[in-house]
Amino acid sequence: MGLLRKKKMNLDFEDKFRKVIMKVDEAGRDYADKKALSWQSQELKYAVMSQEMSSLPQDMAQGAKEVASKSSDGYKQYIKETAEMIRQENIAKAVYEKWKMSFEALRSLSSLEKVTQNLSD
């Protein structure tokens, strides 16, 4: 009876490990994609500001152009979009970390089960 129980428990854990590893992989790739988009958006800050500044009068002082460009609708929209990308990145990171912790918890349970099985043999 003990051998049959061991095989069943090992198969149960093997299936659970496969599923969790797949979820870690999926979540990790999603996080990487969202992190890349967030980084790209943040790196475009000066390009967006420059584009907004180029639409202002040529004779306007540089400091005034910077202030005006940062208060423009286009720049405000850029800030909103970048904030959303950062939010999505952080959510994806939390999901990825959750699956990593699930793997560690499963590994601990598997180890505990092995010790329990060995004690009962």
| Per-residue pLDDT tens digits for 94-108 | 999 999 999 999 999
Q: For the chain, what is the domain count?
A: 1
Closest-CA residue to 27 (of 115, 121, 105, 91): 91
Q: What are phi and psi of 44, to 5 degrees?
A: -85, 0
Q: Which domain holds residue 38?
A: 2-120
Task: Give pairs for 67-70: CB < 8 Å, separation 24+.
Answer: none
Q: What is the pTM of this model?
A: 0.78
CA distance 67 to 42: 19
| Per-residue pLDDT tens digits for 47-58 | 999 999 999 999
